[in-house]
Amino acid sequence: MRILVTGGAGFIGSHYVRTLLAGGYPGFEDADVTVLDKLTYAGNLANLDSVRDSPRYTFVRGDICDGELLRGLLPGHDAVLNFAAETHVDRSITGAAPFVTSNVTGVQVLLDACRTAGVRKIVHVSTDEVYGSIATGAWTENSPLDPNSPYAAAKAGGDLIALAYARTHGLDISVTRCCNNYGPRQYPEKVIPLFATNLLDGKPVPLYGDGENVRGWIHVDDHCHGVQLVLERGEPGRVYHVSGDTELSNRELTAAILDVCGASWDMVVPVADRKGHDRRYSLDDSLLRSMGFAPRVQFPEGLKDTIEWYAANRGWWEPLDRPAPPARPSR
C-alpha cells in the first residue's frame, strides 16, 4: 500500500508518519509513505528526522494547491490523508487569505487530483471549531456548522467540499473532526507549547479574557490512532468525531501547566480576549468509540511528558519564531 500524507512535516501529520513507519498501525507495517509538505513556518523536516532513512519514506516539497504537481505525484497511491492546513486562529484574524487558499481551494485541488488518479480512500482531517460554540451538551456529527473565526470558516468550507465530492463524484472520502491536540513538536504558538516554552525561559504567559473558555483535549497519538481507524473502516461521505476524555477551562489548563513547570500565578498576565473567541467546544465521539476507539494517554501524564519533552529539546524550539511574551503590568 502507498499512502500520501499531506502536511506530513507538521505537528499531527509527522506524528502519524513516524508512528506508521515504526509499525504502530497493525496491518500497515509494509506501507510506503509519501509526505507532501509546503514547509511553511509550521512545517519542519526535523519532525521527520527519525524516519528520513527509511526505504518506505519519500518526501516531496510542494503545495496542495499545485494541481500539476499533484497530477504527477498521486498516481499509484492507494490512500490520501489530508493533514495540510493553516490552523492558528490568531493568524486567521490578522490575515484570512492564506486560510481560504489552503483550507478551501487546496482541498478542492487535491480532491480533483485524487479523482483523476483513482485514489481509493481519502481522509480529510478537520476540527471541532467548525461548529462554533456550544453552551451545554456536545455536538454530534449531524450538528449544523456555525463557525466564528476565519480559520474555522475556512475549515468548514473544506469539509463541505470534501463531502460534496463524496456525493457528487462517488469518492471514498471520510472527514474527521477533532478537539484540541497536544504533544511533542507542536509549534509554540499554540497554548500548551507556548506556555511551556515561556515558563521554561522564565517568561510570563498570556491568559485571554476571564480564562473560562472551555476546550476538549486529546494527545496527538490518540488523535492519529482515531484517524487511522477512519482510514481503515470509515464510510464514504461520513463525518467522525475524535475526542479525548478531558475538558478544561483555559484557567484550569493554565493551572495544570504552572504545576508541572513549578511556576506560580505571578507568571500569568491577563490579556484582552481574542476577537470572536468561542466559549466552549465539546464533541460527542460515541460513533468512533462504537468502532473500538478509546484514548490511551491520560491528560495529566500526557501533559507532564509533553512539557518534559520541550525541556529536553530546546534545540528544536529555540530557533522558532515564537509570539512575544506579554508585558507584566506595572505595579
Each residue's pLDDT tens digit, 77-120: 999 999 999 887 888 888 999 899 999 999 999 999 999 999 99
Judged against a pLDDT cut of 60, whether residue 330 lies above it is answered with no
Pairing mode of beta strands 246-249, 180-182: unpaired
Bridge partner list, 125: 176
Q: Quick check: is 151 catalytic?
A: yes
List 86, 128, 189, 222, catalytic entry = 128
- Out of 45-59, 93-107, 152-166, which region has the weakest mean confidence (pLDDT)? 93-107
pLDDT at residue 94 in the model: 85
Note if 232 is an active site residue. Answer: no
Nearest to 200 by CA among 260, 156, 289, 133: 260
Whether the per-residue pLDDT at 329 is higher than 70: the answer is: no
Q: At what angle do helices 250-261 and 191-200 cross, to 10 degrees?
A: 30
Q: Which 8-state DSSP code applies to residue 64?
A: T
Question: What's 163-217 look like in SS3?
Answer: HHHHHHHCCCEEEEEECEEECCCCCCCCHHHHHHHHHHCCCCEEEECCCCCEEEE
Q: Are 35 and 60 in contact (CB under 8 A)?
A: yes
- Residue reference for cell 480564562: 211
Assign 161 to helix, strand or coil: helix
- The label of the residue with cell 456550544 reads 134
Q: Of these residues, 63, 129, 278, 285, which one is catalytic?
A: 129
- Interatomic CA distance for residues 158 and 153, integer angstroms: 9
CA–CA dist 189, 186 (Å, integer): 8
* Mean pLDDT over the full length of the chain: 96
Q: What would the mean pLDDT of 243-258 be, rounded to a whole number?
A: 98
Choice among 151, 182, 187, 240 that is catalytic? 151
How far apart (Å, rounded) are the C-alpha atoms in residues 192 and 218?
12
Q: What would the CATH number be for the domain defined by 2-182+219-242?
A: 3.40.50.720
pLDDT higher than 70, residue 331: no
pLDDT bucket at 274, cuts 50 / 70 / 90? confident
Known active-site residue 78? no
Determine the pLDDT at residue 91: 87
Domain ranges of the chain: 2-182+219-242
- 246 Cα distance to chain centroid: 17
Output the CA angle 201-203-204, nearest 5 degrees. 145
